[in-house]
Structure 1
């Protein structure tokens, strides 16, 4: 197995995990929980974390897809 194939598959798996966890944090995280960080309520913390995970997951999906496309296509 070449390094490009292995890294592409790993990035795709990490991307799916990141997007899934980010969506979960955006949709369900922090509801009905007390606490927070400074002026941010708990829900706000989960929204920021969810957006960050969603962006990183999307970048991983694009990078993994590009590596696999270049491996199989070229």
Structure 2
């Protein structure tokens, strides 16, 4: 899984601000909260992960689902 440092490498301060705003909006969404609860129930997230990693995993899974 990508670490939070992967999100900041090569990014400008403006890019980082956009990511932070986007991450906070996604984390506040009902879809993300439902996904997070399902992952915790199914023990997929066995170890605590930072919010960057969780949002990244959520977006990846969501985009993969939409691709089918």
Shared fold, TM over 0.5: no
Please tell me whether Structure 1 or Structure 2 has the larger radius of gyration of its CA atoms: 1
TM band (smaller chain): 0.3 to 0.5
TM-score by length of 2: 0.34
TM-score by length of 1: 0.32
